[in-house]
Amino acid sequence: MPRFMHFSDTHIGYRSLVIEEREQDFYDAFHEAIDIALENSVDFVIHTGDLFDTWIPGNRAIKEFRNGIMKLNTKNIPFFSIFGDHDRPRRNGEPAAGIFDFLGVHAMGRDQFEYTVRRFGGEDVLIGGISNMKGYMKPRLMEEYRKADGIEEGYKNRVIMSHQAIDPFFVPEQCEAKLNDLPLKSSYIAMGHLHDFMERRAGPLISYAGSTEIKSENEINGFRKQGKSVNIVDISNGNADLTRIRLKSVRPQLKVQSDAESYIDDIRRSISSVKNDGNEKRPLISLEIHGDISMETVMQEISQFDNVIFSRPKIKKDATIPTIRTDSADLRDYFSAYLKDERLADLAIKIMKHTKSSDLEGIMKEIEVLYIDNRQDTPD
């Protein structure tokens, strides 16, 4: 039975807060994923985009990738990848991953759907890829998906890679395609781009493997619930089964929202909630304080926590943290809470409605009405 590892969005070379520790975090997660592939005796590895954080990675990022691939190469494990929006090369650029084709690295689907057929575990496996296509390339994406579904019959085990935001996995307005647009004759559709793990069976098994390290504070809640992991997939006779294996090297990250009087105590409580699980990395805290306090005071007070890394704190001068009941709130409640202006909240809702239909003229009219109203309310 063929077995492979699917991982994604490693963003090798990314450095936040201008500290080497954070750059190292992304290398640690990448190498741990490679080790998991070796420990689970996979036949091949697939990566669904944003391998590097930029299409022109630094020398260290390239070296770390090479070292990981050399470990796979010692076991003759091929590596198949596509390009995400971060590492897609410019029109005349050469992809960094392409340098290592002699080590079994296959960069696929740069400008069109590509596939290869290999034999693993006594069964043929079709492995295909479509790199990230958005903006002016979006119409072409539909054509490439149709090509992937139009491959001649005879290959039961079909693994298709794609790096896109797909409705209903993500906000429809920011997606390039819908679920039914995908090549649903596949056995396993390996997705990249979204950083949280998701899966669904819609004929084939469809899965976003998620990122291997937390790149944005927007990922913190997802990380607290399900961690960061890689997918180990067994495929046979057209059926795919997935096992998640959690990465242990990921730096713990916390989001602390508090007020000027309580934030130190809240930081302590958050730190105490972090489970060690053998991970000795200092937690990274994203701190937001509501109230009248200076940045100088905050920086001085948080300096007592030498076992923590802080991103730059955010200070909101409003005295209270906006709270919204999630069981009854609608989008307008959120706009009202953060814009603190009912007319602006109304405008935001109207613009959202026009945006869904690409009605630029309607948007401009709504803004013009608000402008006229403000002129009328302003004394001469």
State the catalytic residues: 86
Give the ranges where 194-341 is alpha helix by DSSP (H). 220-226, 263-272, 295-302, 331-339
Element (DSSP H or E) covering residue 360: helix 360-377
Question: Would you call the peptide bond into 168 cis, given omega within 30 degrees of 0 as the criterion?
Answer: yes
User: Which one, of 235, 231, 225, lies nearest residue 245 by Cα?
Assistant: 231
Give the chain's end-to-end CA distance (angstroms, integer).
Answer: 80
264 φ, ψ (degrees, to nearest 5): -65, -45
Could you give the strand order of the β-sheet that contains 205-208, starting from the edge strand earlier in sequence? 114-120, 123-130, 157-163, 188-192, 205-208, 198-201
72/106 Cα distance (integer angstroms): 13
User: Which one, of 140, 70, 139, 53, lies nearest residue 105 by Cα?
Assistant: 70
Q: Is the distance from CB of 244 to CB of 209 less than 8 angstroms?
A: no
User: Which one, of 46, 348, 13, 67, lies nearest residue 213 by Cα?
Assistant: 13
